[in-house]
Amino acid sequence: MSSSAERSARRGALIVVEGLDRAGKSSQCEMLQTYLAERGHDVKYIRFPDRTTPIGKLIDAYLRGSADQNDHSIHLLFSANRWELAKSMQRDIAAGISIVVDRYSYSGAVYSAAKANPTLSLDWAWQPEIGLPQPDLCLFLNISTEAAAQRGGFGEERYENEKMQTRVREIFRALFDRQDKVCVIDAGRALDEVAKDVHIAVEKCFVNSSRNEPLGTLGPLAPRAGSVPSLS
């Protein structure tokens, strides 16, 4: 742990938590926020979609099935919902505040691409994310579709069915093949066991020298190729 003087001289870290539905993202984000705050870090927890903004309200109505949207329009609304917060995230990070983010651009690209709309590929879906704040670490909470389906609340919103979730899993895999700074965590275990691995990965990120550099921005996807990180 660094001294408070060292901490205040460094920018905050941007930590993203991703995963399938019911993988425990929100539970782990809350636990991580508490963990970091107890260790003296300034930390905020935000989630996407942020359903409180005017754009977020449109997204909420779509997800609950009370309003419809064309695939491309809803995709761009999800992205706009992140752009709404981009400046304030950058300001917080520069001021030494770390941010734990519950879903981000990765969900944005993957869920839209999983609709198998021939004019909405993963590459197309990634385009509006380019230029958003670049996470220092993306934790992917990995869980089988069957185990996720057994957890509370599954099946209430638009994408919560096994067919969609299976496609989402495959496309997350394809996307993370083209990203670095991704850490895959087995989320099929007890809350505390998952939290332990989350905290280890975040501690490593906190000592990483990349935080001496200004926060970056998301770039284009790397070309397809290379090894696939194991999600099974």
Which residues would be at the binding site for ligand Z5A (CB under 6 A)? 19, 21-27, 48-49, 63, 78, 103, 107-108, 111, 151-152, 157, 159-160, 190-191, 194
Query: Where in 62-173 does DSSP place strands (E)?
Result: 98-102, 137-142
Q: How far is the CB of 114 from ligand Z5A (least distance, A)?
A: 9
Residues 6+ apart with CB under 8 A from 58: 67, 69, 77
Q: How far is the CB of 105 from ligand Z5A (least distance, A)?
A: 7
Angstrom distance (rounded) from CA 218 to CA 8: 25
Q: How far is the CB of 148 from Mg ion (least distance, A)?
A: 12
Please, are residues 61 and 67 in contact by the beta-carbon 8 Å criterion? yes
Q: How far is the CB of 46 from ligand Z5A (least distance, A)?
A: 11
Nearer to Mg ion, 151 or 224 (CB): 151
Angstrom distance (rounded) from CA 125 to CA 129: 8
Q: Report which of 20, 14, 12, 13 is spatially closest to residue 176, judged by C-alpha positions.
A: 20
Residue 49 near which of ligand Z5A, Mg ion, none (CB within 5-8 Å, type-dependent): ligand Z5A
Q: How far is the CB of 92 from Mg ion (least distance, A)?
A: 21
Nearer to ligand Z5A, 160 or 203 (CB): 160
The length of the chain in residues reads: 232
Nearer to ligand Z5A, 137 or 211 (CB): 137
- In this structure, the dihedral spanned by the alpha carbons of residues 47, 49, 55 and 60, taken in order and rounded to 10 degrees, is -120
Nearer to ligand Z5A, 101 or 205 (CB): 101
Q: How far is the CB of 23 from Mg ion (least distance, A)?
A: 9
Instruction: Give the number of residues in contact with Mg ion, rule: CB under 5 A.
Output: 2
Nearer to Mg ion, 25 or 75 (CB): 25
Q: Report which of 216, 2, 209 is spatially closest to residue 93, judged by C-alpha positions.
A: 216
Angle between helices 25-38 and 191-207 (to 10 degrees): 50
Q: Which two tokens stand for residue 18?
A: 């991703």
Contact residue for Mg ion among 26, 117, 179, 210 (CB under 5 A): 26
Nearer to ligand Z5A, 87 or 151 (CB): 151
Residues contributing to the site for Mg ion (CB under 5 A) = 25-26
